[in-house]
Structures are given as C-alpha cells and as structure tokens.
Amino acid sequence: MVRTIIKRELLDNILSFKFMACVLVAIALVVISTLYLTNDYLDRLKDYHKGVTNAREYLSKIPVYSYLEVGIYKPPSPLSIFVSGIERNTGNTVTLTHREIPTELEGGLIKNEFSRIFSFFDPSSVIVVVFTILAILLSYDSISGEKENGMLSLALSNAVPRYKFLLGKYLGGLLSLLFPLSFCFVIGILMVLLLKGVSPPRNFFGAVFLSYLLSILYLSAVLLIGIFISSRTKTSFHSLIFLLAFYLITVFLIPLSINSYARNMELKKARNFEMNAAGLVRERTLKVAAEREKLPVRRTWASMAGGEKFMLKRINPEVTIEYYKRYHEMREPIVVDFAQRIFELKRKDLQTAKKIQKTKVFFLAFLPSANFEQASELAAETGGENLMRFIEQIFLYWHQLVRYLEEKNAFSLRYFYPYAEKFSPEENDFLAKFDDIKGGQKWAKYKDELNKYDKKEFRFLDLGDMPVFKFYESGFAARVQKMIFNGLILLFYNLLFFILAYFSFSQYDPRAQM
Amino acid sequence: MFGELWKRQLVEDITSSKFLINFVIILASVIGFSLLFLGHFQSLEESYSKNTNANDQLLSESSKELVRLLSAPLEFGMKPGPFLFISDGYEEKIPKGLVFRPKGYTPDIKETTGLKKASSPDLSVFYSTDLTFIVQFLLSFFAVLLAFDAFTSEKEKGTLRLVYSNPVKRGHLVLAKYMSALLAIGLPLLLGLIIGLILLSLSSVVPISSGFISGLSLFFIISLLYLSVFVLIGLLLSAFSHNSKNSLVLCLLVWIFLVVILPKSSGLFLNLKRFDVPTEQEIEERVRKVEREVWNRHSHEDWMTRSGQDASTKLNVAVSNEEQRARQEVYDLYLRKKIGAVRILQSVNFISPSSLFEYSASALAGTGLFHFEHLWKQVTQYRRDFLNFFMAEDRKDDQSDHLYFHPDYLSRRPVDFNRIPKFEEKDIKTGERLKDAAKYLVLLGLYNIFLLILVFNKFQKYDVR
C-alpha cells in the first residue's frame, strides 16, 4: 500500500512544474559552480606546485643560516569543489624562519584585495538555497493540499492507515529529491575524476559520501518540517507562507546574525596580541642592546649587511667576524625565545577565537541549514577548523626546525659567513691594505678586487637532513567523529518532526472546509 | 472608483497573514541588527581612535627634528560612521585604509601605498547585518509574496470578473494593486527605520547627525524604488500565469535568481585574464625596476652627494624625486587598476536590481569601495598640504640647504607639534553621495518603467475567466 502511495507521490512531484523548474535551476547552478570551482582548484593546485618547487629550489641554494626561510604550502583540497569553505580566501603559504611563528597564511590566488567583496556559489550552498526551497515546495501542501482537492478523505476511506499515508508522502518526497541530488553529486565526482593529472586523495570518496549522507539527512529534515507544518495549518497557502518565513529566517537571517555577533566578539576579545605585542618587541630590542654592550669585542668597519638576512663579505678583519659571531650567538637564542613568547600571545587570541567559533558552531547546529553547512565543511575539511590545525602543525614543525638549527650550531659563524674561517696568506696581505681605511667611502676603490675573493670558497649549506613539513589531513574516522554532533542533531530533527507530524496528522480533520 | 479599489486592496493586504509575518520579521531584524551594530561600532570606533593616537604620537616624536617628519609612517584607516548601519558595503573585506610608507634613508616619504590588510573577517559569510540586507533580502521577498497572486487569486475566487462587470479600467486595477502593495511593504520599512534610528540615538555610542537622518530618508526612497521592482515582477508573473501555484513557483525562482544567485555570480569572471592584477611582490618588483630605470637614465652623470651646494648633490636630489614620482605612479596605477577591475565586474551585476540597490545604498552611505576612493582622494590632498607645510617650515631655517626631499640637506630644527597639519577624514557631502549613486538609481528607475509597461501591457490581454 505504501508503495502505491510513494509511486503516486513520486509521479505527482516529478511531473509538476515546480519540480522541473527548481531542478533545472539547481542543476544549472551546480554545473556552473563546479566548472568554475574545478578551474579554480586547478589554478590553486598549479600555484601550490609552483610554490613548492620554488621553495625547494630556494633551499638548495642557501649560503648562510640567516637566509634560511622554509616556504610551507598548504595543498588545496579537491573537496573545495563541493564545499568551498574559506580555503580559497585565506592564502596558502607561510615562510618559516626561527624568528617568528606565523599564525596567518599569506599568498594564495587573491591578488586583488578588493575582489573579496565577491563571493559565490558552491554546490553545498546550492543545496541550502535551492534544494531547501524545492523541499518546501514539495511538502507544504502534502496534507493540506490533499485535503483541499478532496483526495485525503478519499485515500483514507480506502483503509489506508494514517501512518502509512504519512510514510508514503514522506518517502515519495524524499525519493523525488534524491534524484536531482544524486545527479548533482555525480556531476561533481565526475568532474574531479576526469581532471587531468589529479588523483583524488585517500579520503576523497569517504568525505563525499559523508557530504551526501548529510545532504539527505538535511533535506529529509526540511521535508518533515514541511509535512508537519502542512498538517498543522488549515490551508496550504498558510502553510507555505509559514514555511517560506521559516526558510528566510533559518537560512539567512539567524545564521547571519550569529556570525556577525561572533565576529564582533572576536574583534573585541581576541586582542591580546594587539595589546601586548609592541611591548614584547621593544623588550626584545632592549634586551639585545643590553647584551650587546656585554660583548667583549666591538664592531669595527665594514658591515655590509642590513635587515634580518645577513651575510658578511669574505674580506673582513678577523675582529669583525669575531664580533658578528659572538653577536649572533648571543642574539638568535633571544630571538627564538621571544618568537615563542610572541606566539604565546597570538595563541591566546587563537584560543579565544576558537572558543567563540565553537560556541557559534554549537548554536548554529540547531538550525538545520546552518548545521548542514557546518557539518559539510567539517567533512570536507575546507573550513576554519582545518586552517587552525594547519597552523598548529606549523607550530610543531617550527620547534623541530629550531632544534635542528641548534644541533647544527647554526647561530654561530655559519649564520652569516659562508666561507672558511681562516684567511689565506694572500688574503692577509690584501687585508693589510685596509688598515688605514675608515668608513665605506673608499670601499668603491677596492670593490672589484674584493668581489674576486667573494667568489672563492663560497659554499652553500647542505640541508639534506633538515626535517620536512608534512600536513596531515584527518582520516575518515576522524572526520566522522568531528561531524557526529551535527549529524546527530539532524537525525534528531528527523525523528522529532516525523513523530510530531505523525501525531498531528493522526488528529487531522481530512474534510475540506469550503 | 480607483480610490475604492485601492482602499479595498490595501485593507486586504494589511489584514493578510503574510503582512503580519513580514511586519514581525522586519521589526525583529531591525532591532536585532541595531543591537549588533551598536556592539560592533564601539570596537570599530576604539580601533580607529587608537590608530589616530598612534599617528599623533609618531608625529609628536618626529617633531623634535623637522626632517624626521618625512619618515613618520602614518596609517589612515577608514573612519567608522553611523552610515555603516545603512550599508556596510563589505568594508571589512576590503583593505582598511592607506599608509604613508617611509623607506629608511632614501627620500621617498611621500608615497601612499601599502594597503593595510583587511582584518580577517569571517569569509564564509555572504552578507552583512545592515539595513541594506533587510531591504534587499527580506523585504523584496515579501514584496514578491504580496504581489504574486494579485490577479490569479482574484481570478480563482471569481472576483476579478465581478470587478470587471463594473466600469473599471484595467489600468486602474493594476495601479491600485501596485500602490497598495507598495504601501503595505513601505509601512513596515518606515516603522523599522524609525525604530532603528531611535535605538541608535538612545545609545550615546553612535553620533547621529542631521546628515545621517537625511541619508536615512534617501535610503527609504531608493528602497521603495527597489521594492517596487519586485512588486512589479510579482504582478507580471501573476499576469503571466493562470493559477497562483505556478505564479508562486515562478516568483520564488525569479527572486532566488535575482537576489541570491546573480549578485554572487560576477565573481565567476574574476579569473579572466582581463582582470588579472599583479601580486604585491610583483608590484614591488616593478617598482624596483622603475627605480633602476630612472637611475640608469642618469648613469653617465655625476650624482654623488657631496655637500648641499654642489651641482652633483642637486642632481642627486632631482633624480631621487624623479624616481619617487615614478614609483608613486606605479603604485597609483595598480591601485586604480584593482578598483577598476572590481567596478567592471560589478557592472556585470547590473542585470540584477538587487545588486543595483546594494551599490546605490553603499554609494549613498559612502561605505565600502566608495569610502575607500574618497579616503584616497583626501589622503592625496593631505599629502600635498603636508609637504607644503614642510617646505614652508624648512625655508625658515637658514642652516638648511632646502634640497627637497633629501634627509641630509634639510632643517633639523624642532617644529611645533600643534602646527603640523593632522589628517582628519571629512564626511562625504550629500551631493557627492547622490552623484555616486545616480548611475544605479537611473538604472533602477528604468527597470521600474520597463516592468510597469510590461505589466500594463500584459494585463490588458489577461483572460479573466
């Protein structure tokens, strides 16, 4: 019996104008957005590969440790084609040195800072915006509409139990939603599979499956809410107005307000770094200056260096080399220490932000649409949570890097001097010429000769045993674990509204009141 | 007769359940958004005044020696105002302001470059909590809902035929429907605006000026212009279809298309080569290349700095200034290019009345891109004033060589901090706001006229049976 009702419902739905119109719009949007996002993904992938190659090349030609900058790139996730998240906007790279622990990514494909005002659709937002409307349109008259055209009393007079009728309506609606939904997912998967030179990552199918499951749960919840409302209202027009208001409020209005509030809180509370960073930087400068006074050797002429990247020329008085050696042996550990202290400030902010985000996600989880969006971001790992994890892993890697540098005794002579420590007799003779020179003015006179010595004995660092950064994405189980709360809430909504609809329908007066 | 029709329609509209729901939602969201705005505005104001203080401190530290004024890195952020409540213009997503960037010893003190990074907003959020959202989204939705069954439901009930058995012109009926829907949608908006204004003025946080109130009333007018488009779309689709259900589905889809999808679609063209701009590093590289070109042009000349009176020193200073100008040109060019690219992309959205409304509201409020452009103009003017002041001060010192702007040959006397011109962003005049908004408003008006003609035309041939 249920099967007959489902079949009738399915046919009814699929042949209706609303269904065709919505499905056409949805499919067109999904095709356009996957096309665009696939291209975008490929661009980002190219950017990523280019960055990684450049970083590797750079590492192969480092003369001194002060030049050591490890470029770390975040690989783009092919799942961003389905759920674009914030991945496209946050940049994809950090340049790591022992001087600073970064908490923000840079670069990425956004070159035009003003273009951030444009945002657009990914398939998951098509589900939220268009499929929700479709689910509402399919369910708003499921009970009241049947009553209005008199079918309800007819159907119920055929000894159909009410729960079977309800189940038939629900399953029929769900099945008619499943067709276009599955179609959209298939398009997306095909796009990724057909990409040239891209093999879907290990967790790809698992994550897509999770997204699919979530979409079904979500749409089924909307459908049940629609049926419930339809069984509570006298006319289908009222039920529709109510549902559309519900759509506006839960899909746009409340998520927007909660997000906006959370952002305000973040701006207000996460200001530890902003308030205290300047003080720490000053403290560092003062400490370095004080320690410098204690050094037994004084700086002499010819410091041809500036900034943090620092390399000394070959020909320099021994006392100058000695000075810089001692200076950096003193300075760099202080710099490392302060990098950690500054990071602690940022970390407090990050933790505050994380807490606020968590609270936000918790509250949003109670709105079906926002819940779905959050959960699919968690499943696809393209949201803020993933970014945080990336930054935490960078922090761990920074410690490895500093330990490596300390083991290599990097903050000493090799920090700024890529030559052998002792001068040859020839060089000593040459140096003697400079004894009477002060200041840089006469430097020009001996420039060519000096450069000749620079070419000799110049050695690049061997960084073969340096630890390599690798970003670990979560496995399937971890993803499930992360979105389980959201999934359970959606499931709970399904059950709740089914039961509510059942009770409401069992007391429903099927007679049309005209 | 027209009056009767109109009155009847209005009563029907206002007593309907959709009007009630609309009313409640609008009021609730206005109140909610005002409270959110008050909280947000406070932190904006705080960081702005902190920035101003930092600039002042820097200037007062540098005022000990006149020449040091040239290397003070000043940062000018966009001043937050109550207009942000009308339209946020996605101000948080674009760069926050402009910087005078000093570069150590070279005399390149006057450039306005280095865009401050936008604060990291929640990038996943599509919209902002401002009045524009309420009108653009919620009210347009209800405008469509009010109008979608204007003809079809009357036909279904049979009243349409009844009306026509009286000597009623069809045009009058359409006009009555249109006017009453507009009024039914305008009333909650007006009330919402008044409540919002009262809430903002009750708290002492937001300074309410008469300019803001006139801005708010202008906003009301353009909102009506925008909402009228959706009322007309509802009427048109209602005249196209023969039952309310189809008309509703059509209306919903058109609404989604115009309000949700189209305004977000021009980003699709962002990857086109045409809109390509270089990255920050690439711009820096180009700047360095331009610098080198300038110096290479003078490579055969002697431009060593010796003393303030030598011809070679003077040449050095002249070349430096030339280099500085060339560099500034590069920065300006790319800034203009970036903004230009966004403007062209926005014009793709002109198909959607929703975007037109968004842009006109943003222009009227002087926020977002408009704000940035006005700030840029003002900072350029300030730069001129600042340098004029500097030169005037320098001329008073006869120990200075008056070689602008080489730090080694300028006055080192202290200067009175109070006399240094300080930058303060001026509010944009209402005339300028209107000028910015005019383009979008004209297009919106054309939309209205076009739709109005279509509706009249279509309804003349409408089968009332």
A362–B contact, CB cutoff 8 A = no
CB-hemisphere CA count at 13 Å for A3?
Answer: 0
Spatial separation of the C-alpha atoms in residues B65 and B413, rounded to whole Å: 5
Residue B53, Cα to own-chain centre: how many angstroms? 26
Average pLDDT over residues A151-175: 82
User: Among B191, B178, B212, which Cα is nearest to B22's?
Assistant: B191
In a domain, A512, yes or no: no
Place of tokens 């000894």: A159
Integer distance in angstroms from the first to the last C-alpha of chain A? 29
Please tell me which residue of chain B has the smallest CA distance to A261.
B36
For an interface test with B, give the residue of A118, A233, A361, A372 to mutate (most B CBs within 10 A): A118
Question: Are residues A113 and B252, on separate chains, in Cβ contact within 8 Å?
Answer: no
In a domain, A489, yes or no: yes
User: Band of the pLDDT at A305, cuts 50, 70, 90?
Assistant: very low
Chain A residues within an 8 Å CB radius of B118: 113, 116
Question: Are residues A22 and B278, on separate chains, in Cβ contact within 8 Å?
Answer: no
User: Among B137, B213, B223, B186, which Cα is nearest to B437's?
Assistant: B223
Q: How far is CA A385 from CA A68, A206, A353, B116, B383, in A?
A: 29, 19, 11, 25, 43
Question: Are residues B265 and A120, on separate chains, in Cβ contact within 8 Å?
Answer: yes
User: Band of the pLDDT at A136, cuts 50, 70, 90?
Assistant: very high
Check residue A446 and give its pLDDT: 67
Question: Are residues B43 and A29, on separate chains, in Cβ contact within 8 Å?
Answer: no
Check residue A445 and give its pLDDT: 64
* Whether the predicted pLDDT of A24 surpasses 70: yes
In a domain, B225, yes or no: yes
Question: Are residues A249 and B25, on separate chains, in Cβ contact within 8 Å?
Answer: yes
Tokens standing for residue A437: 């020179």
Check residue B278 and give its pLDDT: 81
Total of domains in chain A: 2
Chain B residues within an 8 Å CB radius of A256: 125, 127-129, 133
In a domain, A513, yes or no: no
In a domain, B305, yes or no: no
Chain B residues within an 8 Å CB radius of A307: none
In a domain, A514, yes or no: no
| Strand, helix or coil for residue A72 | strand
Same domain, A296 and A358: no
Structural contact between residues B370 and B322, judged by C-beta atoms closer than 8 angstroms = no
Question: Are residues B93 and A117, on separate chains, in Cβ contact within 8 Å?
Answer: yes
Structural contact between residues A118 and B359, judged by C-beta atoms closer than 8 angstroms = no
Per-residue three-class SS string for A448-482: HHHHHHHHCCCCCCCCCCCCCCCCCCCCHHHHHHH
Cβ burial A186-221 (10 Å sphere, 16+ → b, else e): eebbebbeebeeeeeeebbebbbebbbbbbbbbbbb
Tokens standing for residue B332: 């300006």
Question: Are residues A260 and B120, on separate chains, in Cβ contact within 8 Å?
Answer: no
In a domain, B322, yes or no: no
User: Band of the pLDDT at A442, cuts 50, 70, 90?
Assistant: low
Mean pLDDT by 10 residues, chain B (465 residues): 78 83 91 91 86 88 84 82 89 80 43 48 67 92 86 73 72 85 91 93 85 91 94 89 82 89 79 76 85 86 74 84 84 87 88 92 91 88 86 86 79 87 87 91 95 88 72
A53–B contact, CB cutoff 8 A = no
Tell me which of A225 and A156 has the higher pLDDT.
Answer: A225
Please tell me which residue of chain A has the smallest CA distance to B89.
A117
A114–B contact, CB cutoff 8 A = yes
Check residue B63 and give its pLDDT: 86
Chain A residues within an 8 Å CB radius of B122: 259, 262-263
Place of tokens 């909402």: B227
Chain A residues within an 8 Å CB radius of B25: 245, 248-249, 253
Spatial separation of the C-alpha atoms in residues A227 and A430, rounded to whole Å: 94
Task: Mean pLDDT check: name the lowest of A224-228, A366-370, B10-14, B86-90.
Answer: B10-14
For an interface test with A, give the residue of B117, B125, B344 to mutate (most A CBs within 10 A): B125
Chain B residues within an 8 Å CB radius of A90: 123
Domain that holds residue A306: 273-352+400-455
In a domain, B320, yes or no: no
A391–B contact, CB cutoff 8 A = no
Spatial separation of the C-alpha atoms in residues B85 and A257, rounded to whole Å: 14
For an interface test with B, give the residue of A46, A112, A247, A372 to mutate (most B CBs within 10 A): A112
Question: Are residues B115 and A90, on separate chains, in Cβ contact within 8 Å?
Answer: no
Domain that holds residue B244: 2-280+327-403+412-460
In a domain, A190, yes or no: yes
For an interface test with A, give the residue of B268, B269, B335, B348 to mutate (most A CBs within 10 A): B268
Spatial separation of the C-alpha atoms in residues B293 and B289, rounded to whole Å: 6
For an interface test with A, give the residue of B34, B123, B140 to mutate (most A CBs within 10 A): B123
Chain B residues within an 8 Å CB radius of A361: none
Same domain, A230 and A327: no
CB-hemisphere CA count at 13 Å for B386?
Answer: 24
In a domain, A347, yes or no: yes
Same domain, A110 and A30: yes
Note whether ipTM > 0.95 here: no
Chain A residues within an 8 Å CB radius of B276: 111
Cis amide prior to B220 (ω within 30 degrees): no
Please tell me which residue of chain B has the smallest CA distance to A360.
B122
In a domain, A334, yes or no: yes
In a domain, B81, yes or no: yes
Cα torsion through B440, B444, B447, B449, rounded to 10: -120
For an interface test with A, give the residue of B120, B241, B334, B335 to mutate (most A CBs within 10 A): B120
The model's pTM: 0.86
Check residue A471 and give its pLDDT: 85
Same domain, A43 and A93: yes
In a domain, B321, yes or no: no
Task: Mean pLDDT check: name the lowest of A192-196, A297-301, A331-335.
Answer: A297-301
Chain B residues within an 8 Å CB radius of A252: 127, 137-138
Tokens standing for residue B203: 């708290």
Tokens standing for residue A309: 């990247």
Please tell me which residue of chain A has the smallest CA distance to B338.
A112
Structural contact between residues A370 and A128, judged by C-beta atoms closer than 8 angstroms = no
Tokens standing for residue B95: 């760069």
Chain A residues within an 8 Å CB radius of B141: 244, 248
Same domain, A244 and A332: no
Given B145, B268, B369, which is nearest A120 (Cβ)? Answer: B268
Question: Are residues A115 and B276, on separate chains, in Cβ contact within 8 Å?
Answer: no
In a domain, A40, yes or no: yes
Question: Are residues A112 and B275, on separate chains, in Cβ contact within 8 Å?
Answer: yes
At residue A338, φ and ψ (nearest 5 deg) are -70, -30
Chain B residues within an 8 Å CB radius of A137: 249, 252
Structural contact between residues B84 and B365, judged by C-beta atoms closer than 8 angstroms = yes
Same domain, A367 and A428: no
Q: Which amino acid is at B272?
A: L
Check residue A160 and give its pLDDT: 76
How close does chain B come to A355, measured CA to CA in Å? Answer: 15
Q: How does DSSP assign B291-337, residue by residue?
A: HHHHHHHTTTS------TT-HHHHHHHHHHHHHHHHHHHHHHHHHHH
A17–B contact, CB cutoff 8 A = yes
DSSP element (H, E) containing A60? helix A17-60
Same domain, A66 and A178: yes
Residues A307-317: pLDDT tens digits? 577 787 777 77
Average pLDDT over residues A194-217: 83
Tokens standing for residue A458: 């110049």
Given A114, A238, A257, which is nearest B342 (Cβ)? Answer: A114
Rg (CA), chain A: 33
Given A245, A252, A268, which is nearest B137 (Cβ)? Answer: A252
What is the number of residues in chain B? 465
Question: Are residues A18 and B29, on separate chains, in Cβ contact within 8 Å?
Answer: no
How close does chain A come to B408, measured CA to CA in Å? Answer: 17
Question: Are residues A245 and B21, on separate chains, in Cβ contact within 8 Å?
Answer: yes
* Whether the predicted pLDDT of A306 surpasses 60: no
User: Among B106, B121, B95, B85, which Cα is nearest to B379's?
Assistant: B95
Q: How far is CA B415 from CA B17, B49, B422, in A?
A: 70, 24, 14
Please tell me which residue of chain A has the smallest CA distance to B138.
A248
Given A22, A113, A263, which is nearest B122 (Cβ)? Answer: A263
| Strand, helix or coil for residue A119 | coil
Total of domains in chain B: 1
Tell me which of B308 and A391 has the higher pLDDT.
Answer: A391
A209–B contact, CB cutoff 8 A = no
Q: Which residues pair with B58 in a beta bridge?
A: none
Instruction: Provide the mean pLDDT of chain A.
Output: 84
Spatial separation of the C-alpha atoms in residues B22 and B133, rounded to whole Å: 14
The conformation of residue B113, written as its DSSP 8-state character, comes to: E
Check residue A492 and give its pLDDT: 95
Question: Are residues B43 and A268, on separate chains, in Cβ contact within 8 Å?
Answer: yes
Check residue A437 and give its pLDDT: 54
Spatial separation of the C-alpha atoms in residues A255 and A253, rounded to whole Å: 6
In a domain, B293, yes or no: no
Structural contact between residues A106 and A91, judged by C-beta atoms closer than 8 angstroms = yes
Given A39, A114, A120, which is nearest B267 (Cβ)? Answer: A120
Check residue A478 and give its pLDDT: 87
CA angle B396, B397, B401 (to 5 degrees): 120
| Strand, helix or coil for residue B412 | coil
Structural contact between residues B55 and B423, judged by C-beta atoms closer than 8 angstroms = yes
Question: Are residues B256 and A133, on separate chains, in Cβ contact within 8 Å?
Answer: yes
Same domain, A188 and A261: yes
Check residue B223 and give its pLDDT: 95
